[in-house]
Amino acid sequence: MKKIVLVIFVGLMGMSLTAQETAAKIEFKTETVDYGEIEKGADGVRVFEFTNTGNAPLIISKVSSSCGCTIPKKPEDPIMPGKTGEIQVKYDTNRVGPIRKAITVISNADTPTKVLKIKGEIKAAEGK
């Protein structure tokens, strides 16, 4: 009986190790985008670039922001191993003041949840 349990245990461990070897992996060029100081009404679109460094297709199922002033856009198609993709983020630059927002990315990667950040400051237009 002990031998049967041992064989089943070793078999299950072998399958779980194989499953880990075929996983998508998401690596971002940077996990923080700094807008710096920009003028009110300036272009608020920035991009987070990433690569699937795993050996399975990467599927991004959801991208959400910490507030309605930030609108993220995810890739619709799977990102194949070795390929790159991008998550576009648009911040409402009509709001003067500091920017400190988080974007949550949910995918089938080995780390299924990643939090990206944007920061910066929107300044009022000169002379206004």
Question: 128 lies in a domain?
Answer: no
Checking if the pLDDT of 4 tops 80, the result is no
Percentage of residues of the chain with pLDDT beyond 70 = 82
Tokens 């699937």 correspond to what residue? 52
Question: 84 lies in a domain?
Answer: yes
Q: What local confidence, expressed as pLDDT, does residue 48 receive?
A: 97
Answer for the pair 88, 73: CB distance below 8 angstroms, yes or no: yes
What residues form DSSP beta bridges with 14?
none
Best CA proximity match to 74, nearest among 65, 93, 96? 65
Which CATH number belongs to the domain containing residue 85 in this structure? 2.60.40.10
- Domain of residue 107 covers 24-123
Q: Which amino acid, one-letter code, is at 14?
A: G
Checking if the pLDDT of 19 tops 50, the result is no
Question: 4 lies in a domain?
Answer: no
Question: 9 lies in a domain?
Answer: no
The model's pTM: 0.79
Question: 18 lies in a domain?
Answer: no
**Number of domains present in the structure of the chain:** 1
| Banded model confidence at residue 7, pLDDT cuts 50, 70, 90 | low
DSSP code, position 110? S
Question: 73 lies in a domain?
Answer: yes
Q: What is the pLDDT of residues 25-44, one digit of tens each?
A: 999 999 999 999 999 999 99
